[in-house]
């Protein structure tokens, strides 16, 4: 029995040691999310509240707690689009935020103004249980200095550990230096990014200026090309107009010559053959051997004509036709002479050739001869003819002509007291024409 008592005491001692050591280890391993202090009427500036919260985090770190960086909490609040990093003061928000940050506990602090004094309170929340774990309070004046001094007894009550204020101040200074370096690094990064953005903006601006300059140059080149094309077009049109004007002018210059060519006086000489008459009542008709009519005769004439229009002319003619009877001795003959006016119509074919149609009307006399005797009809008769001709101009003033036509001659009684009616007589002539 005496031997078992020491054994039981030894086991009790080991259990106490085992229980005490894990508790201390647990305190050292606690991760705490410290949220911004909530002002309940102290009237302190928001920046002072932030400084007090940061100092409280330093004191807790000194007390052996692991504190989630304050910047990380602010960044998470910004991600949740809380305006201007608005503090998360209500319990549900702190519990949810602490869990998201993998904290074990969260610390909520408030400053209450009661009368002329302020009460500084702190509450630990166990995030696994979602319940308050511990709460403490201290009294202080409502000034920054007094409240800052009150944080040390607040942490002592909260953790049961006394904090070395000087060491905490050094830690706070180190934290401030770290924040300052982070701020300087952030400022340098922002300045570098700003410089890069400004450089990129300048490059883009320069590229835009170059693009606009190229567009302007291209537009100017297009405008000049368009103006050049327009000038060339106008020059071409002007040249074309000048050519057309010159052609019209040349045509107008030539047209008077052409008009003068057709409005000139013309003198014609022609000679040709007179065909036998086929009228049984014609003179010298032989009835014994049915050889009637006259022998082939000759025809000649001259004419002066005036051509006032391109297609018409009026002429004064004088012609003569001579024929012999168809007997062997050829002593019998007759001659016809005529004087009158003739109307011509012209149809140009090409530049040198034209067709002509003429109708003549005038007076004519008949001269008969038989065995050396001459019988001149005292009264002239009526002479008519119609003919179709052609002319070919060798020069502007000289042409060759050819005509084929028919002639009639009718008259009253002569010395023998007989009327005469001769025709139709066909004739074919060649001639020349002089224009002036």
Question: DSSP class of residue 418?
Answer: -
pLDDT tens for each residue of 355-412: 999 999 998 877 776 655 555 555 678 889 999 999 999 998 999 999 999 988 777 6
User: Cα–Cα distance between 405 and 388 in angstroms, integer?
Assistant: 6
pLDDT at 379: 60
pLDDT tens for each residue of 127-182: 888 888 889 999 999 998 899 899 999 999 988 877 665 555 555 666 676 777 88
Q: In which residue are the tokens 């013309």 written?
A: 266
Whether residue 331 has pLDDT greater than 70:
no
* Pairing, β 38-40 against β 105-114: parallel
User: Cα–Cα distance between 112 and 108 in angstroms, integer?
Assistant: 13
Give me the residue spans of the domains in the chain.
22-163, 189-259, 263-435
Whether residue 415 has pLDDT greater than 70:
no
pLDDT tens for each residue of 199-233: 888 899 899 999 999 999 999 999 999 999 999 99
* Radius of gyration over every alpha carbon of the chain, rounded to an integer in angstroms: 74
Query: What dihedral angle (degrees, nearest 10) is formed by the CA atoms of 153, 157, 158, 162?
Result: 60
pLDDT tens for each residue of 46-87: 888 889 999 999 998 888 899 999 888 888 877 775 554 456
User: Cα–Cα distance between 374 and 416 in angstroms, integer?
Assistant: 12
Rounded-to-5 percentages of helix, strand, coil across the chain: 40, 35, 25
Q: Which CATH superfamily is domain 22-163 in?
A: TolB, N-terminal domain (3.40.50.10070)
User: Cα–Cα distance between 336 and 383 in angstroms, integer?
Assistant: 10
Contact (CB, 8 A) for 142 and 115: no
Q: 134: which strand partners?
A: 124
User: Cα–Cα distance between 270 and 431 in angstroms, integer?
Assistant: 4
- At the topology level of CATH, where does 263-435 sit? Porin (2.40.160)
The length of the chain is 436
Checking 175-179 for CB contacts under 8 A at 24+ apart, the result is 175/54, 175/57, 175/58, 179/71
User: Cα–Cα distance between 263 and 252 in angstroms, integer?
Assistant: 16
pLDDT at 258: 44
Q: 376: which residues sit within 8 A by CB, 6+ positions away?
A: 365, 367, 414, 415
User: Cα–Cα distance between 159 and 153 in angstroms, integer?
Assistant: 10
Q: 421: which strand partners?
A: 410
Half-sphere exposure of 145 (CA within 13 A, CB side): 0
pLDDT at 380: 73
The CA-based angle 178-155-123, given to 5 degrees, is 100
Confidence of residue 260 (pLDDT cuts 50, 70, 90): very low
């Amino acid at each position: 029995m005496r031997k078992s008592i020491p054994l039981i005491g030894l086991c009790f001692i080991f259990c106490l040691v085992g229980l005490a050591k894990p508790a201390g280890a647990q305190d050292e391993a606690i991760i705490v999310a410290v949220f911004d202090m909530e002002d309940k009427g102290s009237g302190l500036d928001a920046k002072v509240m932030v400084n007090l919260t940061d100092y409280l985090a330093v004191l807790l770190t000194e007390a052996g707690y692991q504190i989630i960086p304050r910047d990380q909490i602010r960044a998470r609040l910004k991600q949740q689009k809380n305006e201007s990093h608005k503090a998360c003061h209500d319990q549900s928000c702190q519990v949810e935020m602490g869990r998201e940050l993998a904290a074990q506990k969260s610390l909520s602090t408030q400053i209450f103004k009661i009368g002329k004094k302020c009460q500084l309170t702190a509450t630990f929340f166990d995030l696994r249980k979602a319940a308050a774990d511990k709460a403490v309070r201290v009294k202080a004046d409502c000034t920054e200095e007094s409240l800052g001094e009150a944080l040390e007894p607040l942490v002592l009550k909260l953790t049961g550990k006394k904090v070395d204020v000087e060491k905490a101040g050094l830690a706070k200074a180190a934290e401030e230096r770290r924040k300052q370096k982070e701020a300087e690094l952030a400022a340098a990064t922002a300045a570098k990014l700003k410089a890069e953005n400004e450089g990129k903006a300048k490059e883009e601006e320069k590229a835009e200026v170059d693009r606009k300059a190229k567009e302007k140059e291209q537009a100017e080149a297009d405008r000049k090309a368009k103006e050049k094309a327009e000038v060339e077009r106008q020059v071409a049109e002007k040249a074309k107009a000048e050519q057309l004007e010159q052609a019209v002018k040349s045509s107008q210059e030539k047209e008077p010559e052409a008009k003068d060519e057709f409005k000139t006086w013309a003198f014609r000489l022609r000679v040709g053959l007179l065909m036998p008459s086929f009228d049984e009542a014609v003179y010298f008709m032989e009835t014994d051997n049915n050889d009637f009519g006259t022998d082939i005769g000759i025809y000649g004439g001259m004419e002066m004509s005036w051509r006032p229009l391109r297609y018409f002319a009026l002429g004064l003619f004088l012609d003569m036709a001579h024929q012999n009877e168809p007997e062997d001795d050829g002593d019998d003959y007759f001659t016809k002479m005529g004087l009158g006016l003739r109307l011509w119509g012209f149809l140009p074919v090409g530049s040198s050739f034209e067709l002509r149609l003429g109708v003549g009307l005038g007076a004519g006399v008949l001269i008969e001869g038989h065995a050396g005797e001459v019988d001149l009809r005292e009264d002239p008769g009526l002479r008519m003819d119609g003919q179709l001709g052609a002319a070919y101009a060798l020069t502007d003033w000289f042409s060759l002509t050819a005509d084929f036509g028919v002639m009639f001659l009718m008259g009253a009684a002569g010395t023998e007291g007989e009327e005469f009616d001769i025709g139709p007589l066909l004739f074919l002539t060649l001639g020349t024409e002089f224009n002036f």
